Every structure is written in C-alpha cells, then in structure tokens.
Amino acid sequence: MAKLREPKRRGNTATTAPVGQQGQDGKKARQKSGARLLRGEKAKRTKAEALAVRALASVKRKMKQSTLAMADREVAEMQVNRALYRGEYFAPEPYQTETGLTLLKTVAYHAYMVASTVDGVPPRNLDLLRRLMAEADSLTQRQAGNAPRVAQSGANPADFSRPMVKDSTPAAVQQGGQAGKWPWGTYKTKKLEVLAGAVQELWTGYDPAKPRETAPTNEKVEKWLNDHGVTSVRIRQVMATIIRADDLRRGPRPLPD
C-alpha cells in the first residue's frame, strides 16, 4: 500500500522560537556587544597609558640633554611654527621669563620678516605672529614693573614702545631710556639696529596731519637703509614697508594747502 506524502509547505518554513528563547538570545547578544565595548575601552586605555609612558621617558631623556636656554628656544620655535605653518595660536606665558619672552619676540620677528617677502602666506598666520610679538612684549613690560598693555589680535609691530633717544646712528637705539626694550630686549643684530635707527631718524617726526611734509618716501627710507649696510634690495623694501605709517595712503602725496 502506497504511503501518503504530506503536502509541501509554502512560504517561510522556519520555525519560530519560543518567546522565552528569543529573550535569552537577545540577552546574550547584548552581553557580547557589551563585552566588545569593554575590550575596546580597555585597549584604548592601555594604548593611552603606553603612549604616556613613552612620552614621559622622552621627557626624561630630553631633560638630561637640554638646558633652560634650549628649552626657551624650543618653546619659542614651537609657538612661532604653529602660528606660521598651521595657523594655531599658543599664547605666551609668564613662566617663559623675560629671557624666553625676548627670544620669542626675536624668533617671531624673524619669521614675520621672512614670511612678509613671500606671496601667498595666509594673512591670518601673519596676524598671529604679530599677536605673539605684542603679547610677549606686554608680558615683558609687566615683569619689568611697567604699566600693563592689552595685546589684541591684529596688533602691529609699530605698537611696541619706541626709543626715546634721538640719534641718527643705529647704535643709539641700544643705549639708555626705553631704547633697549624696542622690541627685542637686550638681543640685537645689525639689521635690527639699522631698522630701529631708521625709525629714529626718519619717522619720529611724522605728523599724520602733514604727510607730505613729514612722511619719508619708501625710496628715501630704502636709500638710508642702503647707506647703513642693508645691501639686499628685497630686504630694504620689506623693512621700509614694515616701518611705514599704517595710516599713510599709497600713491602721490597731496599738495600742501
């Protein structure tokens, strides 16, 4: 006698698990997910701890090899490089001391001078260098007991305290009064002396109300710089531009009334 076959079932033939079993499966899945998260967090902590150990070991090695002067330079170069190349600002701190702040102003000024000669440098990065110089100068004055100055973004190098001694020789800017503090402290180079001397000789008599009579032309400033040893045409142009009055318009000077 032939066996009767059950008709084939159509559609989804999967059996449905009991409700209790589904709850157990979900609980196990959540437990596995939680375990994975815990392992991930533990791995991150382990990695961070290992990184901290390596960093502290590096600090220990550098402390043995470094001096305070080297540390001052490294911090100053870090601040300047971050501002110039990344557009990131790391404000000067009082702990950098007068020597470190003076070095920061010098490094920032050098970078600013060079970057000003290159087309395409982001204006914001140049502004950060000016801000570094202004804030470092403000902190230096506070440490010296002078009245505090509020440094603002966009401050110009011309905002620094100018020498009070009137002398036509560049060396005079390093002698007496406020001369030794504009804006490089006791640090000096030949070009910095010449630049400050040009301000003393050509710009201290400038009157914004009488630009034609009192403002020197760039050509006159460049000739003065050339006479005092600045042989590079491009550097003379940059130096003349830096010390030029901000409110002085370009083009022909207006005729006097």
Give the pLDDT band (50/70/90) at residue 79: very high
119 & 187 share domain: no
Q: Is the pLDDT of residue 68 over 60?
A: yes
Contact 157, 170 (CB under 8 A): no
Structure tokens at 137: 């100068």
86 & 192 share domain: no
Q: Is the pLDDT of residue 57 over 60?
A: yes
133 & 236 share domain: no
Identity of the residue numbered 142: R
Q: How far is CA 40 from CA 26, 34, 44, 243, in A?
A: 21, 10, 6, 58
Q: Read off the pLDDT of each residue in 220-238 and give the average, rounded to a whole number.
A: 90
Q: What is the pTM of this model?
A: 0.40
Q: What is the pLDDT of residue 116?
A: 87
Q: Is the pLDDT of residue 153 over 50?
A: no
Domain boundary among 120, 137, 160: 160
Residues 166-206 have pLDDT tens digits of 343 444 444 433 444 555 566 778 888 888 888 888 888 88
Q: What is the pLDDT of residue 129?
A: 92
Q: Which of 5-9, 139-143, 197-201, 247-251 has the highest mean pLDDT?
A: 197-201
174 & 235 share domain: yes
Average per-residue pLDDT for the chain: 74
Domain count, the chain: 2
75 & 182 share domain: no
Q: Is the pLDDT of residue 256 over 60?
A: no
149 & 211 share domain: no
Q: Read off the pLDDT of each residue in 119-141 and give the average, rounded to a whole number.
A: 89
122 & 170 share domain: no
Report if residue 4 sits inside a domain.
Answer: no
Q: Is the pLDDT of residue 133 over 70?
A: yes
153 & 70 share domain: yes
| DSSP string over the chain | -PPPPPPPPPS--PPPPPHHHHHHHHHHHHHHHHHHHHHHHHHHHHHHHHHHHHHHHHHHHHHHH--HHHHHHHHHHHHHHIIIII-------GGGHHHHHHHHHHHHHHHHHHHHTSTT--HHHHHHHHHHHHHHHHHHHHHTTPPP----TT--GGGSPPP----SSGGGGGSSTTGGGSSSTT---HHHHHHHHHIIIIITT--TT-HHHHPPPHHHHHHHHHHTT---HHHHHHHHHHTS-TTPPSSSPPPP-
Containing domain of residue 68, as a range?
41-160
Q: How far apart are CA 248 and CA 236, in angstroms?
A: 19
Identity of the residue numbered 59: V
Domain boundary among 144, 160, 176: 160
Identity of the residue numbered 188: K
